[in-house]
Structure 1
Amino acid sequence: MPVALWALAIGGFGIGLTEFVIMGLLPEVAADFAVSETVAGYLISGYALSVAVGAVALTAALTRVDRKQALLGLMILFIAGNLVSAVAPTYELMMLGRVIAALCHGAFFGIGAVVAADLVAKERRAAAISIMFAGLTVANVLGVPFGTLLGQAAGWRSTFWAITGIGVLAFIGIALLVPARVGLPDAVAGPSGQTGPGLRGELAAFRAPQVWLSIAVTVLGYGGMFGAFTYIAFTLTEVSGFASSTVPWLLMLFGAGLFVGNLAGGKAADRNLGATLLTLLVLLTVVLAVFALTATSPVATVVSLVLMGVVGFATVPGLQMRVMRHAAAAPTLASGANIAAFNIGNALGAWVGGLTLAAGLGYTSPLWAGAVVTLLGAVVMAVAMVVRGGERAGRAGRRAAVLTAP
């Protein structure tokens, strides 16, 4: 694989660290700014909302910008946001720093996925995307625990200084390793100053029903897993009987599953994209249901937790590849919209899981809710494959009619 992919992975690592490390530092941040932990928690939700906005708005704004230059500009935004967070004297400025950093999140992964796919042969594109997303999974496995430890030992600001440094490293890597004018189909690489199909061309990609079906699968398929994961600490302690002190180590096992699943899913999607996604969504539904049924067993819980990470994140490269494939002439905005769909799925899954808890259905209910949401994603995926088959048959029929016309 091209070394440029690892520069993208470093950027993904820094962005993933920014998103998740705050969870372990909320008590310190809340104490420093003299706000409640609930108010401090808005630094997480504010980030998530900004990701969804930036994924579409910034990607749309950058449709005619050379994609390497766009990535470099987004990393500057990322560095600036984390620098503001590191020095913020007030809660309000801290929130501003979080918003600035979050705006680049969706656009970076959206544009980066297009660039990663263009760096390799067609049959290796999903695997290339998985390497970029590997940075995000490593952030969960190693970055968040060590970032939390650093913040607790040297003050929470030290973690954001470290993330700022990672952003600088990613910027240098992208500047040196990513080829110029990468990710642009020859058909749309226009004269100087025009490096893509433009916003109108990008929006035209959304006329394809398969693009919308792909986005729906992303929302439901990823949302089901994240809804279960959002409340997993309660399941582990209240149902499985683990001590609270063991939860971070169990989450590291889950993160290891994410890493393995991401890379394996990318390779599988390159072989057969549709079948891989449908199979993984059905498997994830089964894993979540079995997890809910066996959560009282500590051994079964550990196995289910790892499998949930492996199978759940194995869908990610394929989900991203599918929307790009069906918006092939102008994939950038569709790719960014799919990153927003991941975050919408996060919010949907957490909301549904929270409803089950509020209804008094117990601490395994988010797992059941996640299984139902994921099953809906599998159904939509099956429908998309049937519709796709009909589209192909229709095109074949029209070609045959033209060839046999007198």
Structure 2
Amino acid sequence: MKTFKVQSFILISIGFILGMSEFIIVGIINDLASSFHVGISAIGFLVTLFAIVYAITTPVLSMLVGKHRLSRVMLGLLIVFITSNVLTAVATSYFLLAVSRILNAVVAGIMVSIAITFAAVIAPPQKRAWLISWVFSGYSIASVFGVPIGTWISDQVGWRVAFWLIVAISVRLHSCLCSHCQAI
């Protein structure tokens, strides 16, 4: 039972960190526009670009996962997710920022799909719906708490620190996933 609780926490946290990384742009749009000397509409376009890439790549990549071990796929995707957030944190141009957001969008959708599949596999039948709803709730929690926290961090010490925080949490989740979810 303890293993299920830890695995559940990991999956819910993955939902949260994916949501925070996706939605934080809205909270720091002015800071990004100022940093990259572009209009707010250019930064807003990154939100649209993210959504388009997410929508196109998620079903395609979901089909490609097939029978691969979920834990290995998720670990690999987390590495790409971490990389995309490092690229965002160190971006020196709007182009590099856009590339980092595209890379983030490519892996975010498939990570949600795998987290939900993971939840269905690890949860006993009576807890499946509960866990799947909580993985999705990670996104909502990110909107309610993650974005304001990221915005506050951006206001206090800079928007790059908010992305470094996402990287740090993601690295920790990668480590936890290695330790507690290898069997799937």
Which TM bucket (shorter chain)? over 0.9
Q: Is it true that 1:16 corresponds to 2:32 in the alignment?
A: no
1:1-400 matches, cutoff 5 A: 2=4, 3-180=6-183, 182=184
Deviations 1:284-322 (CA, angstroms, capped at 9, x unpaired): xxxxxxxxxxxxxxxxxxxxxxxxxxxxxxxxxxxxxxx
> Over residues 24-70 of structure 1, what are the superposed CA-to-partner deviations in whole Å (9 max), with x where a residue is unaligned?
10111001111111111111111111211231122222213211111
Q: Supply the distance in 1 between the matched residues of 2:31 and 2:104 (Cα, whole angstroms).
A: 20
Q: TM-score, normalised by structure 2?
A: 0.93
Query: How far did residue 114 of structure 1 move?
Result: 1.1
Paired with 1:48 and 1:151, the residues of 2 have a C-alpha distance of 23
Q: State the superposition RMSD in angstroms.
A: 1.3
Question: d(CA) in 2 for partners of 1:102 and 1:166?
Answer: 18
Q: CA deviation at 1:131?
A: 2.3
Which residue of 2 is the match for residue 328 of structure 1? Answer: none
Following superposition, the deviation at residue 72 of structure 1 comes to: 0.7
CA distance in 1, matches of 2:61, 2:172: 22
Superposed structure 1 runs of 4+ greater than 3 Å apart: none
User: Which secondary structure state, in structure 1, belongs to the residue aligned with residue 67 of structure 2?
Assistant: coil
SS in structure 2 of the partner of residue 35 of structure 1: coil
Distance in 2, Cα, partners of 1:57 & 1:73: 17
Structure 2 Cα separation of the partners of residues 166 and 47 of structure 1: 21
Deviations 1:135-164 (A, max 9, x none): 222211211101001011111111111111
Q: TM-score, structure 1 length as denominator?
A: 0.43
**What is the CA-CA distance between 1:104 and the residue it aligns to?**
1.2
Percent identity for Structure 1 against Structure 2: 32
AA matched with 1:18: S
Secondary structure of the structure 1 residue equivalent to 2:66: coil
